[in-house]
């Protein structure tokens, strides 16, 4: 059996600079006193107030901006093997027994980091393949025990684990994942998708848009559909297969994901046209040629992980949406998404409003949605509500405004 956490009486102590007044699991470096002796990064520690009162237990990392990732705020709760096993079991039970996700798919998020009180750990299930992603050194150090706990629930599954390069740099550790496994084929709302982990595209498939893909399909019958930033073809294949669209175009800059998209279209026996191109010149050409679509999906990658770059992220969202609105027919549908956790829903809605105005469009918002219920968030961790998906209808299409000059920051007033 793999070793779990160390005994509680052997844990190092980390002292807060001021009394703990909130329950967010992230405690940043500036709020923590530098320990008097070296504590290895990724260590499990006791956290105490300035007066020495225990306030919980956490993973410590003196290199990271997030010095402490709280596992419990209960002073009396010991973080041992049973603690980790119980947290993992609760996460599995939610998806398998409460949400009953097995009725519609064999792929779902098993553990969603802070939402499941396991900060720094994400686990996705793809049929017989379990993919574990580490965002914290502490979780990575405990990987063998975590995998053992997961095998108790999924004894016949294959396992793959990894950490992205930017995480390894931020958390100061080196991750050596196992050999990349053979792809899995998942079933989602009656459609099949080929999933290949081990690439640069997260765990292999964006499970968070499952419900939004199904909703999108309801708008597509006999329509001309454009999927911008199509990745491995999720929205595009739904539009063609479930939605019975007349024509589907998938656009992405990455040839690797387009090859997966072609395979996904093939195994669902639908035809889509896949285009490798940068979205900005491609959309400008489409606008100039008056090539319009009934339904457009815009689902770009995360635009920033840095709070100091949120204005630049909003500028990019503005530019993308301004162009996307101009290739939607009057009366058509635009589905615009943001997975940047640092951009809240009000900011994203305002950004899209300005983009619609700049494009000369009058727009109805039909629905604002987020990730599926297997991607929950805790109220005290608003960053966990990262996905925003806005379903809109273009009521009127007028003349666009002159495009703005590209400023280094997002200008809130240029279109007023």
CATH number, domain of 13, equals 2.30.130.10
Whether 124 and 246 map to the same domain: the answer is: no
Would 271 be classed as within a structural domain? yes
Q: Give 253-267 pLDDT, tens digit per residue.
A: 999 999 999 999 999
Q: What is the mean pLDDT of the chain?
A: 93
Whether 385 and 239 map to the same domain: the answer is: yes
Would 194 be classed as within a structural domain? no
Would 412 be classed as within a structural domain? no
Range of the domain at 328: 206-397
Confidence band, pLDDT 50/70/90 cuts, at residue 408: very low
Question: What's the pLDDT score for residue 403?
Answer: 66
**Domain holding 227: CATH number?**
3.40.50.150
What is the pTM (predicted TM-score) of this model? 0.91
Distances (CA, A) of 394 to 169, 345, 381: 43, 20, 34
> What's the structural domain count of the chain?
3
Whether 93 and 63 map to the same domain: the answer is: no
CA dihedral (230, 234, 237, 239) positive or negative: negative
Whether 149 and 279 map to the same domain: the answer is: no
pLDDT higher than threshold 60 for residue 42: yes
> Half-sphere exposure of residue 210, counting CA atoms within 13 Å on the CB side?
22
**Average pLDDT score over residue span 43-53:** 95
Q: Give 176-204 pLDDT, tens digit per residue.
A: 999 999 999 999 999 999 998 876 567 88
Whether 68 and 100 map to the same domain: the answer is: no
Write out the two tokens for 73: 């705020």
Share of the chain above pLDDT 90, in %: 86
How do beta strands 66-72 and 54-60 pair? antiparallel
Question: What's the pLDDT score for residue 306?
Answer: 84
Whether 214 and 336 map to the same domain: the answer is: yes
Asked if residue 249 lies in contact with residue 226, where contact means CB atoms within 8 angstroms, the answer is: yes
pLDDT higher than threshold 80 for residue 349: yes
Question: What's the pLDDT score for residue 414?
Answer: 45
pLDDT higher than threshold 60 for residue 405: no
pLDDT higher than threshold 80 for residue 41: yes
- 251 strand-pairing partners: 228, 275
Higher-pLDDT residue of 402, 147:
147
**Domain holding 126: CATH number?**
3.30.750.80
Whether 252 and 377 map to the same domain: the answer is: yes
Question: What's the pLDDT score for residue 314?
Answer: 96
Would 413 be classed as within a structural domain? no
Whether 258 and 310 map to the same domain: the answer is: yes
Whether 356 and 256 map to the same domain: the answer is: yes
Would 280 be classed as within a structural domain? yes
Write out the two tokens for 340: 């940047």
In what side-by-side order are the strands of the sheet with 129-134?
107-112, 121-126, 129-134, 158-162
**Average pLDDT score over residue span 60-74:** 96
Whether 279 and 392 map to the same domain: the answer is: yes
Whether 112 and 261 map to the same domain: the answer is: no
pLDDT higher than threshold 70 for residue 412: no
Would 294 be classed as within a structural domain? yes
Asked if residue 238 lies in contact with residue 265, where contact means CB atoms within 8 angstroms, the answer is: no
Whether 363 and 326 map to the same domain: the answer is: yes
Question: What's the pLDDT score for residue 69?
Answer: 97
Would 1 be classed as within a structural domain? no
Would 189 be classed as within a structural domain? no
């Amino acid at each position: 059996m793999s070793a779990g956490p160390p005994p509680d009486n052997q844990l190092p102590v980390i002292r807060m600079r001021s009394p703990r007044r909130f329950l967010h699991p992230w405690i940043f470096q500036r709020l923590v006193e530098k320990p008097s002796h070296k504590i290895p990064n990724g260590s499990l520690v006791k956290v105490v107030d300035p007066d020495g009162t225990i306030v919980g237990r956490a993973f410590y990392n003196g290199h990271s901006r997030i010095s402490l990732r709280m596992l419990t705020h209960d002073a009396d709760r010991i973080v041992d093997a049973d603690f980790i096993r119980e947290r993992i079991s609760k996460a599995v039970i939610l998806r398998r027994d409460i949400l009953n996700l097995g009725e519609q798919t064999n792929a779902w998020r098993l553990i969603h980091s802070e939402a499941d009180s396991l900060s720094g750990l994400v686990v996705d299930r793809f049929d017989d393949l379990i993919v574990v992603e580490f965002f914290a050194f502490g979780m990575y150090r405990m990987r063998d025990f975590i995998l053992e706990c997961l095998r108790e629930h999924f004894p016949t599954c294959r396992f793959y684990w990894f950490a992205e390069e930017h995480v390894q740099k931020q958390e100061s550790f080196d991750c050596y994942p196992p050999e990349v496994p053979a792809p899995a084929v998942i079933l989602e709302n009656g459609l099949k998708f080929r999933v290949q982990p081990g690439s640069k595209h997260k765990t292999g498939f964006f499970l968070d848009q499952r419900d939004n893909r199904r909703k999108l399909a309801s708008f597509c019958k006999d329509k001309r559909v454009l999927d911008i930033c199509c990745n491995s073809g999720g929205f595009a294949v739904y539009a063609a297969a479930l939605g019975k669209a007349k024509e589907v175009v998938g656009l992405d800059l990455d040839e690797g994901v387009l090859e997966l998209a072609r395979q996904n279209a093939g195994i669902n026996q639908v035809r889509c046209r896949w285009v490798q191109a940068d979205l900005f010149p491609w959309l400008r050409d489409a606008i100039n040629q008056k090539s319009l679509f009934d339904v457009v999906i815009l689902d770009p990658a995360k635009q920033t992980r840095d709070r100091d770059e949120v204005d630049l992220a909003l500028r990019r969202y503005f530019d993308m949406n301004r162009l996307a609105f101009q290739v939607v027919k009057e009366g058509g549908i635009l589905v615009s998404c943001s997975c940047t956790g640092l951009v809240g829903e009000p900011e994203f809605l305002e950004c899209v409003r300005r983009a619609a105005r700049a494009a000369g469009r009058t727009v109805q918002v039909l629905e604002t949605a987020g990730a599926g219920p297997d991607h929950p968030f805790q109220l005290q961790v608003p960053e966990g509500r990262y996905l925003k998906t806005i379903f809109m209808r273009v009521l009127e299409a007028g003349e666009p405004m002159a495009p703005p000059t590209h400023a280094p920051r997002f200008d809130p007033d240029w279109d007023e």
